[in-house]
Amino acid sequence: MVKQKHHMSKDELSVNIVGYVVIGLFALVCLLPFYLIIVASFTDEASLIRNGYPLIPTDISIQSYQLCLKNPVAILQAYGTTIGITVVGTFLSVLLATMTGYVLSRQDFPWRNKFSFFFFFTTLFSGGLVPWYMMCVRYLNFKNSYIAIILPLMFSVWNMIIAKSFMMGIPSALTESAKIDGANDFVIYVKLILPLSKPLIATLSLFSALAYWNDWYNCMLFMTDENKFMLQYYLQRILGSAEAMRIVAEKSGMALPTIPLESMKMAMTVIATGPIVLLYPFVQRYFVKGLTIGAVKG
Amino acid sequence: MKKKAETKKYKAPFLKTVKKHWMLLLMLAPALLYVIIFNYIPMTGIVLAFKKYQYAGGIYGSPWNGLDNFKALMISGKLGQVTRNTLLYNIAFIFLGVVCEMGSAILLNELTNKYFKKTAQSFMFLPYFISWVVAGAIMYNIFNYERGVFNHILTWLGLNPFDLYNKPAAWPPVLIFLKLWKGTGYGSVVYLAAITGLDQEMFEAAAIDGANAWQRIRYLTIPSLKPTMMIMVLLAIGNIFRGDFGLFYQTVKSSALLQPMTDIIDTYVFRLLIDTGDIGVSAAAGLYQSILCLITITLCNKLVKKVNPDYALY
């Protein structure tokens, strides 16, 4: 919307004042917890115990990070696993969503509606957690296998629908003329359709990468080998065991060993969240654009 | 004789289509295989709800036990509680979610300072990027009795500290807030996209006709967002008996004290399966949930189709 440089009328002014106050406050509320975690992670443990989590940084210390990184093997391993799974999983899931979406977007494919409903029906009815879990554990042998994390997040009907509706916007004449030139369907998909679908690919990649990076659920269900933990589940375990230690110490009246549990918990949270948040400013543009694509289908 | 001819007539195009589009079918195969393995075959696993699960027998070999699992579910007395919680939380999430998302999209659109708008939007998006593990840790950081920031502020104001983790009644507003905190930035983009797609001349004409900024929002923007809103709400209602497992699991943890106010069907099914290993009963609870979902979405879609077919999902 083009705003003219005129003096705002009273009502426009009042809308803007409400807008700045409400949006400003909400944005602050969204940002504040991140600030608190970061400040706490850099605060001296003794000060944390004595004064609580601070609003304003005092007694700055990097001891928690030093301790977290003193024995970095476990953290680096979790990082490696998470990055590897995110890259492979994102690639496969984007491939699957766009390939399926393309087939279902083809107007000359007579069964497209039947197959579309075959996929869509899975969002209407499901067997529930138990049969799915049994399938994964008993019949596919998922325990402690990386496939257990890649497969469950690999195909999403919603991503497929986004892909399909995006590709329906590509003129079908393109496909037809390529067919006349003798290209087969797969070649058309790879060489013609995919290059025209960059915003779609960016969006789906982001959705998938986020899902894989933030996964703790599948890791919790299927992984027992500590060497194969993903970052978020590793964090969950650390937070849980730190809390357990604190409760035991409190109930037994024994002093805790001199590990700075509280600030270490915060440091771990920062370490596990860091990369995806740092990535955020770079991908934000595509993200909003891509979501818009998703919304067009509406 | 006639029948035979008919089937023959029917089969010919089938084979012809397969032959003509074999490459497309091949491209479709991985996804088909995926939903067959992870969705359709597990659907047949609902028979477990009527079986006494034995490890040796597996899903299909275990003996039937009729409605015993459902009886156990009834006797546990939990079903009503978790269903109520799931339903009420989701109603709050849907209603307040729409209000916050639409509200912030409309306000963002009205802001004149582009730079402020962009920065605010980035901040609002941040919570969407973190996992529920981190969100749970953040929440604990704020509401923890001994060291939380919240109590820090209360004490500073001279008020009594507040122990959230011992007060089940205080959880619904906190969880609703957390859910809105995490999802509003993301959800508002959908509405913002819809607003940018609107015909700007309509707004200019309204301004010339003397409609003030509030009236334009009230009589133009909001009504034009109705189709988007209807679809978002409909999609959400279809899942009204399905809870956000991560939200509840990572914040409540395994606190039995908080369960009356925070236990939802999903956490209940999960506990039955993983903690107690009560596979038959857990499957029964899962089936109960799936059937509730199917009924709601079907009814809802029928209703919407009647009112306005354009809004229907399928």
Q: Give the model confidence (pLDDT) of A126-161 as tens digits.
A: 888 889 998 898 888 888 899 999 999 999 998 998
Question: Which range, of A6-20, A203-217, A276-290, B190-204, averages the lowest pLDDT?
Answer: A276-290
Between chains, do A295 and B213 touch, taking CB under 8 Å as contact?
no
The model's confidence at residue A218, banded by pLDDT at 50, 70 and 90, is very high
Between chains, do B213 and A11 touch, taking CB under 8 Å as contact?
yes
DSSP string, A25-36: HHHHHHHHHHHH
Report pLDDT for B49. 85
Contacts of residue B245, defined as CB under 8 A and 6 or more positions apart, other chains included, come to: A217, B264, B266, B267, B270
Report pLDDT for B90. 94
Contacts of residue B192, defined as CB under 8 A and 6 or more positions apart, other chains included, come to: B105, B108, B109
Residues A270, A175: one domain? yes
- Judge whether residue A250 has pLDDT over 70: no
How many CB pairs (< 8 A) connect A and B? 295
List chain B residues with CB under 8 Å of A100: 27-28, 30-31
Contacts of residue A145, defined as CB under 8 A and 6 or more positions apart, other chains included, come to: A222
- Mean pLDDT over all residues of chain A? 83
Report pLDDT for B228. 83
Between chains, do B104 and A23 touch, taking CB under 8 Å as contact?
yes
Per residue in A255-264, pLDDT tens? Answer: 655 666 777 7
Report pLDDT for A3. 47
Domain boundary among A39, A63, A87: A63
The model's confidence at residue B272, banded by pLDDT at 50, 70 and 90, is confident
Structure tokens at B15: 């084979």
Report pLDDT for B177. 94
- Judge whether residue B269 has pLDDT over 80: yes
- Mean pLDDT over all residues of chain B? 85
Dihedral angle at the C-alpha atoms of A43, A45, A48, A53, nearest 10 degrees? 50
The CATH number linked to A205 is: 1.10.3720.10
Q: What is the mean pLDDT of residues A97-103?
A: 95
Token match 């919407």: residue?
A: B304
- Judge whether residue B293 has pLDDT over 70: yes
Helix, coil or strand: residue A60: strand
Domain boundary among A63, A83, A102: A63
- With a CB-CB cutoff of 8 Å, which residues 220-259 of chain B face chain A? 227-228, 231, 238, 245-246, 250, 253
Domain count for chain A? 2
- With a CB-CB cutoff of 8 Å, which residues 121-180 of chain B face chain A? 121-127, 129-134, 136-138, 140-142, 144, 146-149, 151-153
- Judge whether residue A298 has pLDDT over 70: no
Report pLDDT for B256. 81
Pairwise CA distance, residues A43 & A264, whole Å? 10
List chain A residues with CB under 8 Å of B193: 291-292, 295-296
Token match 């941040």: residue?
A: B126
Question: Among A9, A30, A122, whose Cβ lies nearest the Cβ of B39?
Answer: A122
The model's confidence at residue B40, banded by pLDDT at 50, 70 and 90, is very high
Residues A85, A216: one domain? yes
Residues A45, A157: one domain? no
For residues B83 and B3, the model is more confident at B83
Report pLDDT for A2. 47
Residues A202, A104: one domain? yes
Residues A285, A197: one domain? yes
Residues A121, A212: one domain? yes
Residues A142, A197: one domain? yes
Residues A59, A131: one domain? no
Residues A128, A46: one domain? no
For residues B104 and A49, the model is more confident at B104
Report pLDDT for B233. 86
Residues A58, A78: one domain? no
Min Cα distance A127 → chain B (Å) is 4
For residues B61 and A236, the model is more confident at A236
Per residue in A103-127, pLDDT tens? Answer: 999 888 888 889 999 998 898 888 8
CATH number 1.25.40.80 is the correct assignment for the domain at B78-311: no
Report pLDDT for B247. 92
Residues A2, A128: one domain? no
List chain A residues with CB under 8 Å of B147: 48-49, 52-53, 262
- Judge whether residue B248 has pLDDT over 50: yes
Report pLDDT for B20. 83
**Can you give the residue range of the structural domain that contains A196?**
72-297
* B214: Cα separation from own chain's centroid: 32
Percent of chain A with pLDDT over 90: 28
Interface probe, candidates B129, B152, B234, chain A, greatest A C-beta count within 10 A: B129
Report pLDDT for B1. 42
Could you tell me the pTM of the whole model?
A: 0.88
Residues A97, A1: one domain? no
- Judge whether residue A42 has pLDDT over 70: yes
Interface probe, candidates B130, B191, B297, B310, chain A, greatest A C-beta count within 10 A: B130
Task: Tell me, yes or no, if B24 comes closer than 8 A to chain A by beta carbon.
Answer: yes
Task: Tell me, yes or no, if B116 comes closer than 8 A to chain A by beta carbon.
Answer: yes
- Judge whether residue B121 has pLDDT over 80: yes
Structure tokens at A110: 């007579």
Report pLDDT for B181. 94
